[in-house]
Structure 1
């Protein structure tokens, strides 16, 4: 297989620069030096931390921007982790700059209105991450040029030909991107970016067996890293299937009272993951309403788990759609615990649980959902 020499050569030159950016050996912290190009309309920038990859985030520090420059001093950096610089300008079109916090000096340069489109350099994981992004952009540019060439040559003009060409370009882009990601993991198996890349980019695009293989590539020295632990938990949950034990959870209901799933043990329970902002969820909801009306009181209950973050949006959707069953939410969106426990990657999503707490069906919808529930409830 052709190796991604662009990535390797880019990093070989980058590594030679790292010595210029290292902090004194005794330092345990990270210095972030930022430069903003253009007119910055905010007064501050903010340092944002995620609890985990794609998890809940919070602002942990702020810094005045003087002459389009800012500096953060982050002390006692235990392990490299992804953080973000957030713009203080409410009109910023792309207000987040991702970067790695690790021991050393990190240099960030971004456009005042496009924080995401930034350059980051200075430490190993940052150099690797932004070399990867550069190669991804190269792949995307190549695919875009192929599409433009087809237009210039008057090719693929029928709708069917255009559709085939689009699918071919998409497949090419996805395959090349996945190859690049795997090359990165295998080349930098002893850096924190390896488990991060597997979880962040690859987990939804490879089989469970391949995911386990890639996890085995990660150096044992990273077994205790939070990102490796998150990956291990994902792999464990990826084996959540029909026949698995349904994990218990506790969430507040509409009135703020704690509801525990295990309180319904002895009944068939449909756990319905949804959100008011999800169009397919709203289109599916009449089927759940119909199911509840027909099976209510037959040793059957529905528990709606909302992925909303706004309480009013959640409760208004419950009311307007006449969702009269148990409704729970901690307003944490995708970070809510049951989403992780049930390995939910998209909504709407349903988990049907039997009276003993075993999963008997997953992701049922429409008439298939109604038929299955009526079938098993009628047997009781």
Structure 2
């Protein structure tokens, strides 16, 4: 059980130490080819410093500093190399994100002492869109923070009492809560697929692996509307390695030899829920996980569940001995090439154990379901 807080990835960047660089913006003038931020903050005495930073690949990079004048007013203006995400802050705890491009005219107001909760923004459609995303994300975070501790406590009590049915039910509730809480953000993504802000949200905050179909749709549209944007390129680069094994996609075919020397294809098991299990006899975590897999298999094998185990072994005898020793009575295949396994290459396996749960049509519906998570998922789909 774990809490799913969508702001986590963003907060990690927001609170990162800024890299001090020579500012690339200027506080002079506001010609048509420049951006301008006109701000007015409550509880910001004259002389208060306001900082502008650009979102880089892993952290915010300092770009400019302004000083608050009378009535809490300040101004940033200058040029940017391309449309991007920027941070305006008084302190690390009081900051907002804006989208800036040359020609932007942004009006920013709020309370300097609780800026993220009180700010409003006008004049920039992308900045206004981020504000809507921010409100949806904060609502999601609050919902999860309120609900997850109770679910975690119930799960812990059920685990201590050995009530596996209750554990699975609570796990299902947590998964449903997670999916439900994402919907407002997902709806904004669907409504605004051509915005760099949406590209940022999909890449950095939503999990592209769990939302692959939606993310891929956004990437497709951005490649047409903003092909040269770094945010488009970042999203595409994030999706490419996931494309073959994302949730919802058809699992790539595997055809390897079974212990008897005959080839067995993954698609030969079509019509059942299938767990593709990547493991090896020499992999201690794999062997430690095997009892959980055996337990799930014995419970659900007569209800339409099968396992297709792909070994990363190179020694045939050790592979076969491990199968017997651990009581793994399902389908096994291997090309005995270790990490050079053809199936491992296709599925992008970087560590084992690794697993993919397929529905009867061969679509991936779960990944790396370990411990009780596999049985809980099977209990849900094999009602």
Give the TM-score normalised by structure 2: 0.45
Larger Rg: 2
Give the TM-score normalised by structure 1: 0.46
